[in-house]
Structure 1
Amino acid sequence: MDLKGRVREIDSRVQAACNRSNRKREDVEIIAVTKYVSLKTAKDAVEIGCKHIGENRWPDSEEKVNALSAKAQMHFIGHLQSKKVKHIVGRFPYVHSLDRMSLAEEIEKQAILKDRYMNCLIQVNVSGEESKYGISPDELFKFAENLLQFKHINVIGLMTMAPFEEDPEKTRPVFRELRKLRDYLNEKQIFDHKISHLSMGMSNDFEIAIEEGATFIRLGSKLVGKE
């Protein structure tokens, strides 16, 4: 199946998942993860309607950021080293992997220097896997309170990665828990605004994630391929 066909198929599956969960299609954004494809393929994806592009590493993503930023929203979705923050602020409007105070401090520092405000999602390791980054659910509320001191960081939601499961249904408790954590943050009014985004769901489990409230799903090879 070519790129257009894959995009149509994914969109159809997203719509079906929204229908099953009584959600509006416009409430779910697809992030095309382009780290394994060429610049040409990434450009083609944007031209046929992929308006959100996700990249994991710097400087590997520099060429695509420079070429695509005018036409697509760029999301940094990978683990972010503090020493790389100076390259990310001003190039990526969204960071999905805020998971420690030292990173928040560096984002704030660079945002002040560049007169920017950064949209950030707190990464939560809901599954508790040692191989995954993110703060624990028990740490979330204290961490969120500590972020209030950073005036150039705009927390817009939470992100998580579920374990890979042959049966995607087994990922549902992870996604459901992230939604509960977001709702609890809003209930406690930690921030002076409602946080709405849930970045969760990848190629193997995005439909389950949508049914549990995902607003950003991150799709790589299943959407854009591997070339």
Structure 2
Amino acid sequence: MVVENYKEVLENVKKAALKAGRDPKDITVLAVSKTKPNEMIEELYNEGVREFGENYVQELATKMETLPKDIQWHMIGHLQRNKIKYIIENVKMIHSVDSLRLAKAISDEAVKRGVNMDILLEVNVALEENKFGFKVEEVEEALKEIAKLPNICVKGLMTSAPYVSNAEENRQYFKRLNKLLVDINDKNIDNVCMSVLSMGMTNDYLVAIEEGATHVRVGTAIFGERNYNK
């Protein structure tokens, strides 16, 4: 079932991309596997899927130890500074850098381990109180500071839009994040050339693609509803 769901998501991505005049190959689907067992991940892995997203450090660290080493893991959930060390050598990208302090801590750990870390700045475009992230107007100044830090590279921006029943309601936030990325790139800040827009989840990823998403984070549409009581 998981494989069929994934293929259906890919087909939807293709349609949304073509509708927006984009190449479907420019969009990465992250299979968000939080709370899901290794067996389900392995089903997708056996079909050639390698890009997975996880929200929790402890769960991610456990899966990294037990699943194939060529999986490209993306840390998409809130990251505490004291937990960076558990994942930094094994994740492809950290999507959820929501403060200058966190960026500095990632840089310090990356230097210590001798690795380079790709990151995205999380932007709270909708100004939701229960969400982390920079405000839109804070991003440029933060970026200028973060771009000076060693061993990390800001690849782009990420947002988690509000949970809505009508995906169209979130179009404004995706559009604004895309505009922010374009505007910042136009300013030619030293060491800043961003190309990644991580936005859109199960309920709104098609709208996000129409507004320029390069990475969509899809969990429920692939793995089914989550059981948080386990």
TM-score after normalising by structure 2: 0.94
Give the superposition deviation at 1:149: 2.0
Aligned to 2:28: 29
Which deviates more, 102-111 or 217-226? 217-226
Q: How does 1:96-115 map to 2 (within 5 A)?
A: 96-115=95-114
Aligned to 2:82: 83
Aligned to 1:116: 115
Give the superposition deviation at 1:9: 0.8
Distance 1:69 1:160 in 2: 29
Distance 1:45 1:122 in 2: 28
RMSD between aligned residues:
1.3
Give the superposition deviation at 1:203: 0.1
Q: Deviations over 1:157-191 (max 9, x none)?
A: 00001111111111100000000010011001124
Q: How does 1:1-227 map to 2 (within 5 A)?
A: 2-68=1-67, 70-225=69-224, 226=226
Distance 2:142 2:205 in 1: 27
Give the superposition deviation at 1:61: 1.8
TM-score after normalising by structure 1: 0.96
Contact 1:54 1:77 in 2 (8 A): yes
Contact 2:147 2:153 in 1 (8 A): no
Contact 1:45 1:224 in 2 (8 A): no
Task: Please state whether the residue corresponding to 2:118 is helix, strand or coil.
Answer: strand
Letter in structure 2 aligned against 1:27? D
Task: Please state whether the residue corresponding to 2:91 is helix, strand or coil.
Answer: coil
Contact 2:185 2:193 in 1 (8 A): yes
Corresponding pairs, count:
226
Q: Which blocks of at least 5 consecutive residues in structure 1 are unaligned?
A: none
Contact 1:127 1:174 in 2 (8 A): yes
Give the superposition deviation at 1:193: 4.7
Contact 1:46 1:71 in 2 (8 A): no
Contact 1:30 1:50 in 2 (8 A): no
Contact 1:172 1:209 in 2 (8 A): yes
Letter in structure 2 aligned against 1:41? M
Q: Which blocks of at least 5 consecutive residues in structure 2 are unaligned?
A: none
Contact 2:53 2:73 in 1 (8 A): yes
Letter in structure 1 aligned against 2:151? H
Which deviates more, 146-155 or 14-23? 146-155
Task: Please state whether the residue corresponding to 1:161 is helix, strand or coil.
Answer: coil
Contact 2:61 2:87 in 1 (8 A): no
Which deviates more, 172-181 or 3-12? 3-12
Letter in structure 2 aligned against 1:128? L
